[in-house]
């Protein structure tokens, strides 16, 4: 089949092989888009971004920026119709428009059907249950009052079906006395897991459903902001837990039946049970270390999938840690990076500032990657960075 | 001094620390600008590019692209006046305008005086002689006829003072019978060196004249195109030759008396004498491996210098080779990368395509970096790439 030989059906469709550049679009222009575009410059691609804020982190790094709403049917449709392939950097996009584009022959990665399944935490949980994928026990609640029906699920975690992001739309309910904190909309009530460890497994899936699996990542969360504070790769796991985790992550991605890049977040509980927490159908915060630590970064890998190229090598060059830089509480406005020069003096450290003009408490403003052959040196350095670098606002400087 | 504490005098001058972003400009928008801008996205910088071709490799990766002639006084002056700091990615720029901008308080890196010295091969050679820096014997010729006066300099290499680039403006004159091939303008006639090896040493110099020195690079040139075909880092040198080479490169950069990024190209002759061939006052083709192979790439390093940050770590993470991708002879027009998918299947290989729409014979279209812990594997892989990947034009596809 000549199309397969070309490696990319999109190419032939628009005859773009002959005019040199594939037209690729990203819905969303945040830091994930920014890092995707940094990686895109290694390949012959014409890049397009749709995002409402013309000063977003990705806006200046693409060939063509379109100001528009990624949640609006017409904006997404008009944007996608000019392109050969479209991907996302955030789940909350207009999926109806992506389905329409797919029916018109535009390559959408991940598939809109997979995106729809994942974008709603209710359908995502049902997907795990239906596919015998281990996940925490749950019930679906259509209202706040419905929480009263499930006394066995406390302490529990209440998660809104759609619209939650970065800790918003997730509420811990310790006892039934906390019911008033729950969401009065279609949500999932999960039994709280006795978490020993939280890990992420990144998996790339090409158009022929071949996979490249990255080594697992240990994630250490900030309890207040629900943002990853540190991460280490490879995660320290017993051989048995590692095998179990990887098998589960592979099953999740296989059952999702879509090419794309996926981050499967897993809980390891006190009894070494492995449970799927959730899956992101896109490049992910837990994969930022791959830029320097792996032969093919998560961003490079997604371009390979979008362009129909062979998958890259997910192996580690060196073990790595990252520290997320989030806006300090008490500071809002023009960002200032206190301690940045001290970090830049460190030998095996890589700084990534996302170029967001304004900081606010908890906002993801950048990350720092550390490479080291030595475990404890990695941890020491991560702590040092955490206690040196602060995102504040210029007015307090 | 509070200015020094801020790390960057430019910052205070325009008060930009308070509005968050330093405005940095690049004269030229080729692949060096492109890779500079990929690296810039790790830092809070507002980027500007001046270049006549709005479809150049760097145009879409900056915040603000200005279409203009980098050799035109008014274009460079108007471009620079909006900025805090200006650098170059090619030597043939309007240096008068840069001097004017410097006098108006704009940071120009490298210094225009250093750029002027280097941009003319005649003054560059005189600089080496005046500073007792070993270089091949030479004479200055004002016309083609003047070549007749120096029979002792054949076989020799004739190089035009200004305007030469990528093999243009350089002519081998084997015997005096070749005099007609010489340049009828101010040029340098050098005695041909019996070259055993050609190496490059990259050195970063910050505003306080502190240096970061990269491991030397072995360069293997294509005899027809005078473009680097392969390079290996670290270069295989005896301890004695290594010490001598590094000492000479450091002296060159010290005597140039300017912050910036420098590539000192050196000949090792049959008697292990080390001679300076030429110096580039900018990021350089011989430093492309630093993107993946070093903790701080040449592009990252130049930004650190421009922004007044501490220098990065020039050490190797792993030894590396690069293969340059140049347009095949016999092909002109829209570029097609034959064999690209085979290269992308290789595990420890990094592809960089510069995104130039049209190829022509000998044009630099990209490069491929290979990391390996094993010498012979590196060489084997470099040869494999050289015999697999070809830049041709789409019309022949």
**Tens-place pLDDT, residues B147-177:** 999 999 999 999 999 877 666 889 999 999 9
| Shared-domain flag, residues A242 and A331 | yes
**Tens-place pLDDT, residues A48-88:** 999 999 999 999 999 999 999 999 999 999 999 999 999 99
Buried b (16+ CB within 10 A) or exposed e, B31-44: bbbbbbbbbbbbbb
- Distance from A364 to chain B by nearest Cα, in Å? 14
**Tens-place pLDDT, residues B70-89:** 999 999 999 999 999 999 99
In a domain, B16, yes or no: yes
Pick among B57, B341, B371, B394 to test the A interface (most A CBs inside 10 A): B341
- Distance from B323 to chain A by nearest Cα, in Å? 15
Question: Is a pLDDT exceeding 60 seen at residue B4?
Answer: no
**Tens-place pLDDT, residues A116-144:** 999 999 999 999 999 999 999 999 999 99
Q: Are B245 and B237 in contact (CB under 8 A)?
A: yes
Report chain A residues whose CB lies below 8 A from the CB of B304.
344
| Shared-domain flag, residues A223 and A327 | yes
List the single residue in A21, A336, A341 with the smallest CB-CB distance to B310. A341
The pLDDT of residue B11 is 44
The answer to whether the Cβ–Cβ distance between B355 and A18 falls below 8 Å is: no
The pLDDT of residue B225 is 57
In a domain, B322, yes or no: yes
| Cβ–Cβ contact A38 with B under 8 A | yes
In a domain, B388, yes or no: yes
In a domain, B127, yes or no: no
Question: Is a pLDDT exceeding 80 seen at residue B112?
Answer: yes
| Shared-domain flag, residues B13 and B92 | yes
In a domain, B130, yes or no: no
Question: Tell me, what CATH number does B230's domain have?
Answer: 3.30.470.20
Report chain B residues whose CB lies below 8 A from the CB of A43.
351, 353
Q: What is the mean pLDDT of residues A385-395?
A: 88
Cβ neighbours of B240 (radius 10 Å): 10
Q: Which two tokens stand for residue B23?
A: 């405005």
List the single residue in B60, B304, B353 with the smallest CB-CB distance to A44. B353
Backbone φ, ψ for residue B353 (5° rounding): -100, 135
Question: Is a pLDDT exceeding 70 seen at residue A2?
Answer: no
| Cβ–Cβ contact B345 with A under 8 A | yes
| Cβ–Cβ contact A67 with B under 8 A | no
* B271 vs B16: CA distance, rounded Å: 54
Residue A221 banded pLDDT, cuts 50, 70, 90: confident
Q: What is the mean pLDDT of residues B212-241?
A: 86
Question: Is a pLDDT exceeding 70 seen at residue A167?
Answer: no
| Shared-domain flag, residues B248 and B334 | yes
**Tens-place pLDDT, residues B315-345:** 999 999 999 999 999 999 999 999 999 999 9
In a domain, B128, yes or no: no
The answer to whether the Cβ–Cβ distance between A304 and B42 falls below 8 Å is: no
* B313 vs A350: CA distance, rounded Å: 10
Coil, strand or helix: which one is B384? helix
Q: What is the mean pLDDT of residues A217-240?
A: 83
The pLDDT of residue A21 is 85
Distance between start and end Cα atoms, chain B: 63
* B370 vs B4: CA distance, rounded Å: 40
List the single residue in B7, B18, B336 with the smallest CB-CB distance to A394. B18
| Shared-domain flag, residues A320 and A222 | yes
Domain boundary among A174, A191, A208: A191
Query: Mean pLDDT score of chain A, rounded to an integer?
Result: 92
| Shared-domain flag, residues B172 and B292 | no
Residues 6 or more apart in contact with residue B144 via CB below 8 angstroms: B179, B180, B182, B183, B184
Range of the domain at B151: 137-191
**Tens-place pLDDT, residues A24-49:** 999 999 999 999 999 999 999 999 99
**Tens-place pLDDT, residues A293-322:** 999 999 999 999 999 999 999 999 999 999
Q: What is the mean pLDDT of residues A158-173?
A: 84
List the single residue in A44, A310, A335 with the smallest CB-CB distance to B355. A44
| Shared-domain flag, residues A213 and A360 | yes
**Tens-place pLDDT, residues B306-315:** 999 999 999 9
| Shared-domain flag, residues A161 and A276 | no
Tell me the CA distances in angstroms from A255 to A98, A209, A245, A361, A393, one per residue in order: 21, 11, 15, 38, 45
In a domain, A358, yes or no: yes
Q: What is the share, in percent, of chain A residues with pLDDT greater than 70?
A: 92
Residues 6 or more apart in contact with residue B197 via CB below 8 angstroms: B218, B235, B237, B267, B268
| Shared-domain flag, residues A261 and A350 | yes
Question: Is a pLDDT exceeding 70 seen at residue A374?
Answer: yes
* B313 vs A272: CA distance, rounded Å: 41
pTM of this prediction?
Answer: 0.93
List the single residue in A with minimal CA-CA distance to B65. A60
List the single residue in A44, A309, A357 with the smallest CB-CB distance to B344. A309
DSSP A186-246: SEEEEEPP-EEEEEEEEEEE-TT--EEEPPPEEEEE-TTT-SEEEEEES----HHHHHHHH
In a domain, B131, yes or no: no
Among all chains, which residue has been given the structure tokens 């679906």?
A: A140
| Shared-domain flag, residues B292 and B383 | yes
When divided into structural domains, chain A yields a total of 3
| Shared-domain flag, residues A151 and A30 | no
DSSP state of A185: S
Please tell me chain B's helix, strand, coil percentages from 3-state DSSP, rounded to the nearest 5. 35, 30, 35
Question: Tell me, what CATH number does A177's domain have?
Answer: 3.30.1490.20
């Amino acid at each position: 089949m000549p199309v397969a030989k070309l490696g990319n059906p999109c190419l032939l469709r628009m005859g773009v092989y002959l005019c040199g550049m594939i037209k690729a679009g990203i819905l969303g222009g945040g830091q994930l888009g920014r890092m995707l575009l940094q990686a895109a410059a290694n390949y012959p691609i014409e890049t397009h971004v749709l995002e409402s804020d013309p000063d977003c982190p990705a806006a200046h790094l693409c060939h063509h920026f379109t100001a528009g709403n990624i949640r609006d049917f017409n904006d997404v449709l008009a944007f996608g119709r000019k392109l050969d392939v479209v991907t996302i950097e955030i789940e909350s996009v207009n999926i109806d428009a992506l389905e329409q584009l797919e029916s018109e022959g535009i390559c959408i990665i991940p598939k809109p059907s997979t995106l729809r399944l994942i974008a709603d935490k209710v359908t995502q949980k049902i997907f795990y249950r239906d596919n015998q994928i281990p996940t925490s026990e749950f019930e679906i609640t259509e209202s706040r009052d419905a929480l009263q029906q499930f006394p066995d699920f406390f302490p529990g975690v209440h998660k809104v079906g759609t619209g939650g992001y970065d800790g918003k739309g997730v509420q811990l309910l310790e006892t039934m006395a906390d019911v008033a904190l729950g969401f009065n909309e279609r949500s999932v009530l999960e039994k709280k897991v006795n978490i020993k460890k939280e890990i992420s497994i990144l998996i790339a899936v090409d158009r022929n459903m071949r996979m490249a699996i990255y080594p697992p990542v240990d994630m250490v969360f900030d309890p207040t902001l629900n943002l990853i504070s540190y991460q280490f790769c490879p995660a320290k796991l017993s051989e048995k837990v590692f095998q179990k985790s990887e098998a589960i992550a592979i099953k999740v991605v296989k059952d999702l039946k879509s090419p794309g890049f996926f981050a499967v977040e897993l809980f390891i509980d006190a009894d070494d049970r492995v449970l799927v927490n959730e899956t992101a159908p896109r490049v992910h915060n837990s994969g930022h270390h791959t830029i320097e630590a792996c032969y093919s970064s998560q961003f490079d890998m997604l371009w390979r999938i979008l362009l129909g190229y062979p998958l890259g090598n997910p192996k580690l060059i060196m073990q790595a840690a990252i520290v997320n830089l989030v806006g300090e509480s008490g500071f809002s406005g023009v960002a200032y990076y206190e301690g940045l020069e001290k970090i830049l003096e460190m030998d095996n450290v890589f700084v990534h500032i996302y170029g967001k003009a304004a900081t606010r408490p908890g906002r993801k403003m950048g990350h720092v990657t550390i490479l080291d052959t030595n475990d404890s040196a990695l941890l020491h350095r991560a702590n040092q960075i955490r206690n040196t670098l602060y995102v504040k606002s210029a007015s307090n400087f």
